[in-house]
Structure 1
């Protein structure tokens, strides 16, 4: 029993230190995943903990399980609208983009390190794909709001590129170990299996689990356990039949997350904690595996390979993959930069070790060092580079919190909390006065929290900075109310500097705008609506932040509806 309790004590201590390290991560601006790795390395045999851990099989099991949970959580938060915007380019990036990256880096590694070409390309295949756990975690916790096309492309690519990476690593290991038994036909059939079974089982699993979630009447906490166990079931079964379990579990999450039901809110709240626990456990265990002295021995090689990967291989692969999908140069540069490496390369690097590939420890050490450099350099600069390349859009006013009261399987009442910002429009107003021009029967305040206590509403109640007001709000008024609570002089000026001083209806005639401001438009364009004119001049699917120029004037997409159609345009007038 003492051994079991010691194991529990050790596990609890490592996770506790990981939680505490999150505050240090926020202060230093370092990626949280890097802090988890640091905790594991400090606890390892060359750290202050002195724990000797070199069980690659156990680490692989933990890594695969954690990645499945992380991908399931990422799928649950991916909207179908993202696929409408970025499915084709992301699919090309997840297939040809991985191949191009591996080919370029493999050739470089072969000549730079003087390796056999099969070993050099295998090294490139291990670190050639972006990591879903790192992308989902760092993009959503970076504090920057990317334009929807860039965000969707990065998330879908990272969620879908694992089959290609696993295929390349498996094929290259076979080519290294048994070259005489390796054939092109068998490799192609393996790829078809990975993609085909992964897509099919993800669709089936998502449909079945989403239907069960709507029909079963379970205790609130059990819905998330059902989804996690169902997702792991699809992951394992798909792997057993030769498909990509990672692709299957990601798509399972996508289909479940887009089926709004009474259980969805409970599932998402629990999955937050489970995904965090999965990331912490995985990176702490991976940190225990590494030996800092070995990393230092291969540090220069890893630095050179990482630099080539970040600055040459990834950018060329991105440009060759999606140049025809009408991304501008800044977007291509940012997508190239956010080619984050994380747990997937380290997990893939364990495969050669367990299969007895000669000199496989070198692959693991280099892959680990590349991941650390990627998180340290690329992960830590996500917000800065986004602002520098101008691929971010101003923060969107949002409720502080939200709840739903479900009245039936398909009917609910949304409850939203809004915090009063100092100098905002609503400060000093009665809570009911805030929504006086909205639908008074559908939008009303039912609670006010002041100094963490409930304040009784009266005729003389006035909102103060720091108050949290809870409203029943119909979906189409959520953002309108959020703007009134959040907008101050500084936030309004930020929005105006980006979108422009005026808001115009895209259904307005372009000719009317041209006449009002003396713009030069030919007769054909004058008879178009602004929406039609925008689509004519802008190639691709417009998203928030996209813009066209008419003379010295700039039209910017300010807001889109659920179908992706332009709802409002911003007009910036030349000074």
Structure 2
């Protein structure tokens, strides 16, 4: 128990420090992952002396952490913002990933003399942009919805093909997989993952709309459980769990479910916790003493990634999108396909291409992927892990704070772009107000009472009634009926008086005060 209590104390202190450090990172435009990685390094053997060398445990926990981050990203992403960006995001997440892997592999092979397996592994580990880094930095930039949607959706989709390729290249049972077998494996896993997400998301949303849970706090848990159910089901079926969890979470997050603001807030909290735990764990696994020898190879690889691989992959993806647009002009397919891939939607300007090239942030995802060959015992895997760690640290510091400047120089900012307003943007606590929900029971004296006869205190009002599944805004002459759900907004200082008055009327009717009933 003493060891457990000490571990809990250290963990709680580390999380509090990490949360406090987010404000500093936010002000200078850095993703919080750098702070968490630094805290992990401080907790490790070279500083506070906590020993940790379990690459396999880090690998498994890292995959779970990424699934949590993707689930949070899907739940909090607005479909109305990303739907026009979907063609570009899907091409970047597939064609772009393959091109990036090829360019990095050729560069590492030519410049550093590594074997083809190591070169391809390095390219695959660095091909995926990081959802947490992208969400934390780009959501603060006033970008046009389609451009921001491309980056967000790409970071949600490109983990799937990248992790499949890393796993295949790291597997000792397939030392030299053929291109055909790799391609078929990737396509099969992606198809299974997409199918699972497209089934679990709508089915889960339908079930949550039909089932009345006894407590509002159960809805966020149910949504996350459904998202993880999609991840696990896809993994059991040998599909892409990352793709399944992101698609399912995207559908659930945009469905009209009860207590959506609470679900989004809960998902964001769990996502932050996953980021803190994951990045600190990766920092613990790294050894600062082993990093200096790989700084030069890491910088060479990072420059090849940022200056060659990413721009080339974006340019090739833009060419593919133009080819799609040209085919759309000729074929003119009907319905949804035409709306998604019409030429004015799929095209990318050179300014957008340049910004997408610089904004392909890497974060925890490459470091987590680097634990795969480490756990599989691939020769040279520790050096690969250290190189990836250096690349993430150095280039996140370079790219993150410069994104606002690059966006302004390229003219892709949208200062007047309307921001989505949700409950978290204007919380009731800051307005010193409360939202009360009350269901009228069968034998309540509230039945038949008109709204004005409630005589609620000044500062309280019935703002909505849900009756037989239909919501409407009542007026002062609206009669309350048994089974109604009443939403009452009240100022904080008269909440208790409002609750007492509602109880009093429910017990003795609209003349409750004359009968000595005050709802105590």
Same fold, TM exceeding 0.5?
yes
Residue 349 of structure 1 and its aligned partner are, at CA, apart by 0.7
1:206 to 201, 210, 229: 201
CA gap of 1:66–1:411, structure 2 versus 1, over 3 A, is farther
CA gap of 1:112–1:410, structure 2 versus 1, over 3 A, is farther
**In the aligned structure 2, how far is the partner of 1:236 from the partner of 1:10?**
31
Q: Secondary structure at the match of 1:298?
A: helix
1:556-571 to 2 correspondences below 5 Å = none
1:363 to 384, 399, 402: 384
Residue 185 of structure 1 and its aligned partner are, at CA, apart by 4.2
CA gap of 1:410–1:122, structure 2 versus 1, over 3 A, is farther
Mark the runs of 5 or more structure 1 residues left unpaired by the alignment.
Answer: 415-445, 455-575
Aligned to 2:14: 14
Aligned to 1:226: 222
1:285-364 to 2 correspondences below 5 Å = 285-323=281-319, 324=322, 325-364=346-385
Aligned to 1:248: 244
CA gap of 1:411–1:378, structure 2 versus 1, over 3 A, is farther
1:358-397 to 2 correspondences below 5 Å = 358-396=379-417
Aligned to 1:150: 147
Q: Tell me if 1:95 matches 2:94.
A: yes
**In the aligned structure 2, how far is the partner of 1:332 from the partner of 1:372?**
24
CA gap of 1:412–1:11, structure 2 versus 1, over 3 A, is farther
**In the aligned structure 1, how far is the partner of 2:35 from the partner of 2:464?**
39
Q: Secondary structure at the match of 1:228?
A: helix
Q: Tell me if 1:275 matches 2:271.
A: yes
**In the aligned structure 2, how far is the partner of 1:23 from the partner of 1:381?**
18
8 Å Cα contact 2:101/2:123 also seen in 1:
yes
Q: 1:442-478: CA deviations, max 9, x gaps?
A: xxxx8899xxx89xxxxxxxxxxxxxxxxxxxxxxxx
8 Å Cα contact 1:214/1:263 also seen in 2:
no
Aligned to 1:163: 160
CA gap of 1:303–1:402, structure 2 versus 1, over 3 A, is same
Q: 1:221-251: CA deviations, max 9, x gaps?
A: 1111111122112112211211110100000
Q: Secondary structure at the match of 1:380?
A: coil
Q: Tell me if 1:401 matches 2:426.
A: yes
CA gap of 1:179–1:40, structure 2 versus 1, over 3 A, is closer
Residue 35 of structure 1 and its aligned partner are, at CA, apart by 0.9
**In the aligned structure 1, how far is the partner of 2:417 from the partner of 2:183?**
45
Aligned to 1:42: 42
1:23-42 to 2 correspondences below 5 Å = 23-42=23-42
Aligned to 1:525: none
Q: Secondary structure at the match of 1:220?
A: coil
Mark the runs of 5 or more structure 2 residues left unpaired by the alignment.
Answer: 323-345, 429-434, 436-462, 475-488, 495-520
User: Which runs of 4 or more aligned residues in structure 1 lie more than 4 Å from their structure 2 counterparts after TM superposition?
Assistant: 395-400, 402-406, 446-449
Aligned to 1:547: none
Residue 194 of structure 1 and its aligned partner are, at CA, apart by 1.3
8 Å Cα contact 1:177/1:357 also seen in 2:
no
Range that drifts further, 246-255 or 128-137:
128-137
8 Å Cα contact 2:220/2:267 also seen in 1:
yes
1:495-506 to 2 correspondences below 5 Å = none
Residue 283 of structure 1 and its aligned partner are, at CA, apart by 0.7
Aligned to 2:67: 68
Q: How many matched pairs?
A: 415
1:40-189 to 2 correspondences below 5 Å = 40-47=40-47, 49-140=48-139, 143-174=140-171, 178-179=174-175, 182-189=177-184
CA gap of 1:406–1:207, structure 2 versus 1, over 3 A, is farther
Q: 1:282-316: CA deviations, max 9, x gaps?
A: 11111111111222221111112111211111001
CA gap of 1:3–1:78, structure 2 versus 1, over 3 A, is same
CA gap of 1:313–1:413, structure 2 versus 1, over 3 A, is farther
Higher relative contact order (CA 8 A, sep 6+): 2
8 Å Cα contact 2:59/2:375 also seen in 1:
no
Range that drifts further, 17-26 or 218-227:
17-26
Residue 261 of structure 1 and its aligned partner are, at CA, apart by 2.9
Q: 1:1-58: CA deviations, max 9, x gaps?
A: 11211221221121121112123323444321111111111111112x2211111122
8 Å Cα contact 1:14/1:40 also seen in 2:
no
**In the aligned structure 2, how far is the partner of 1:411 from the partner of 1:322?**
46
1:217 to 212, 228, 232: 212
Residue 411 of structure 1 and its aligned partner are, at CA, apart by 2.9
Aligned to 1:477: none
Residue 407 of structure 1 and its aligned partner are, at CA, apart by 3.8
8 Å Cα contact 1:213/1:263 also seen in 2:
no
8 Å Cα contact 1:33/1:279 also seen in 2:
yes
Higher helix share: 2
RMSD between superposed Cα atoms in Å: 2.3
**In the aligned structure 2, how far is the partner of 1:192 from the partner of 1:14?**
41
Residue 127 of structure 1 and its aligned partner are, at CA, apart by 0.9
8 Å Cα contact 1:160/1:247 also seen in 2:
yes
8 Å Cα contact 1:200/1:248 also seen in 2:
yes
Aligned to 2:190: 195
CA gap of 1:319–1:410, structure 2 versus 1, over 3 A, is farther
1:473-552 to 2 correspondences below 5 Å = none
Q: Tell me if 1:411 matches 2:411.
A: no
8 Å Cα contact 1:261/1:410 also seen in 2:
no
CA gap of 1:193–1:407, structure 2 versus 1, over 3 A, is farther
Q: Secondary structure at the match of 1:179?
A: coil
